[in-house]
């Protein structure tokens, strides 16, 4: 992207070209992030209407939200892990992989967190 954007005026220096390029790259990242978030919100709004009819509305919506949180966390963890692997940081990638696995396990099974809390409270007393 930096090769495509050049400022051709006599008064500009190389440093100003770099600042303009970095600002445009940041702007592009913000735009992509905004598009992804808006798309996810629109998708969530369109699929949540299926839970508006019938009994046990709160229970079904709660189940649906917990499923969505798991997949959002999984995609987020995969993107962060990919970024860590792209800079070839192997040890931080391994540590992040283990921590993300534990967090995803706790998101999938929240009752395990209650069990761990009860065990710790029993040890303290």
| Mean pLDDT along residues 10-33 | 66
Q: Is 0.85 surpassed by the pTM of this model? A: no
Pair of tokens at residue 30:
């913000």
Task: Identify the band that residue 28 occupies on the pLDDT scale cut at 50, 70 and 90.
Answer: confident
93-110 pLDDT, tens digit per residue, is 999 999 999 999 888 888
61-70 pLDDT, tens digit per residue, is 777 787 788 8
d(CA 27, CA 12): 21
């Amino acid at each position: 992207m930096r090769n495509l954007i050049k400022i051709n005026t006599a008064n500009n220096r190389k440093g100003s070209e770099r600042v303009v390029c970095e600002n445009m790259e940041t702007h592009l990242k913000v735009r992509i992030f905004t598009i992804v978030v808006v798309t996810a919100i629109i998708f969530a709004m369109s699929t949540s209407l299926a839970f508006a009819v019938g009994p046990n509305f709160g229970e079904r919506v709660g189940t649906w939200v917990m499923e969505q949180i798991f997949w959002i966390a999984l995609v987020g963890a995969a993107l962060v892990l990919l970024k860590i692997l792209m800079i070839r940081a192997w040890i931080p990638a391994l540590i992040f992989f283990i921590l993300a696995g534990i967090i995803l396990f706790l998101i999938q099974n929240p009752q395990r967190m209650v069990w761990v809390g009860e065990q710790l409270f029993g040890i303290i007393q």
